[in-house]
Structure 1
Amino acid sequence: MVSLPILLSAAPVAFAVSAETWDRVASCESSGDWNINTGNGFYGGLQFLPSTWAEYGGLQYAPNAHQATKEQQIEIAEKVLAVQGPNAWPHCSMVAGLADSEASGQKTEKRSESRANQQPEDIQNAAQTTTAQAVSPSSARITASAPVRGADVSTPYRQAGPWAAGYHTGVDFAVPTGTAVRAVTQGTVISSGWAGSYGNAIVLRHPDGMYTLYAHLSSVSVSAGQGAAAGQQIGLSGSTGNSTGPHLHFEARTENSYNAHVDPIAYLRSLGLST
């Protein structure tokens, strides 16, 4: 990611989006609690991931977003918005009107300076994202998908049990062998194939810095290094590895490591899914 410039002017910050709009985003994301920390891996009124908070300069204010002021959180959110666009908050940006002309048509000096320091390919990608978001809903591309469709959770996150952590580090979806398993959002395949107790498993890295894991698959249909679109079939469910029956084990992680798991249902909801 590009480094955003530090502004030296002592003048009050003029945000590209009104404080009222950010209040509406926060109301949707966190019930308007700017100091929220529920332990689900997302922090503050606008529900920052720790990696996003650090990447966009939040550490100059606080170790994590919920420890910063509302104004500081909005300042970092403006930087995220300038690079990622409203889809950084895929559901709540629409609910709050963040994707309206107020966000896309108005540019403050601060936002223009940050974009001026991007590389040409970054500016082109941002323009393509804005164009995609302006398409009518009937032709807009899919930005998020359930990992399996129409399935119930059979084992919830953090249920105590015989797992290595002493509890369940993901969620299990009850589906028969051969059910299509889909990428929950755009990503890059980090690993695909046999993964010990996980059986056949796939790990994706997503643009928001998160990782998702899909385990106990009967087969995989993507390879490491390959890109995956939201909703793309990446494998078929099964019961390989340490499994007592057909299902999909799904995890969300802040890093590609066993102990970096967060609530996967909360992550799906952050993508705008109602699962």
Structure 2
Amino acid sequence: MKTMASKRGILPGFGLTMGFSVLYLSLVVLIPLSALLLNSTGLTWGKFIDVATNARVLASFKVSFLTAAAAGLIDAVLGLLLAWVLVRYDFPGKNVFDAMIDLPFALPTAVAGISLTAIYAQNGWIGSLLDPLGIKVAFTPLGITMALMFIGIPFVVRTVQPVLQDLEADVEEAAATLGSGRVRTFLVIILPQLLPALLTGFALAFSRGIGEYGSVVFISGNMPMKTEIAPLLIMSKLEQFDYAGATAVALLLLLISFLLLLIINTLQHRFRKTAR
């Protein structure tokens, strides 16, 4: 019969490491979120319901969540493709190409937003070519999605890449010798093992996109009921000294984000158990 110590592991230090983990989580996450609740001066249930049912607030939430979800899904596909190329193929300049994936991490988000706006505006390099076709990117939800795709793609690539590197090629070769085609081998053997990592990358890109402000505020145009995002609405209420309204929007955004991420993490856990 295993003792509690053997279940925790051979190396000691569970109590110490657990204490540091709880302390770190409290200082970085729990205490700031608690302060958000405690500092909600003037926020009553009536005020919260009024803000939560306001048409402008609902429109900003719709723009934020739909564009973040669309960008996360597209990044999941493109990130898998990029990770596949980096892991499975050797080509000149591969290290440079690999390093470029991390540029959105180092680049200030405001600079990214200004650059994307300059490129995709109607008089920009790409926007001037798309405008005669009736396609507008800047100051539309499409432009917001492009900005969120830019900042979210490294999360997917860096999450899927290590998993691809650890996959054994022997299983794929065995499937090929048994007559399985490339598409079937990918869908039946490779994809199920990548799904947990893909969901993790999607969750990271999605959560980053929901709260993104710097890269979106320039290319969105900030038009209420059309391209206004929830973080911008919070900033607008703070500038108007409407602290109760800003707190209500922040709490609602936090609640919805937590529920969506909880669902994604549950699916990720189930796919991981299935893959094992």
TM-score of the pair, normalised by structure 1: 0.24
Q: Compare CA radii of gyration and give the structure with the larger one.
A: 2
> Larger RCO: Structure 1 or Structure 2 (Cα < 8 Å, ≥ 6 residues apart)?
2
Greater strand proportion: 1
TM-score of the pair, normalised by structure 2: 0.24
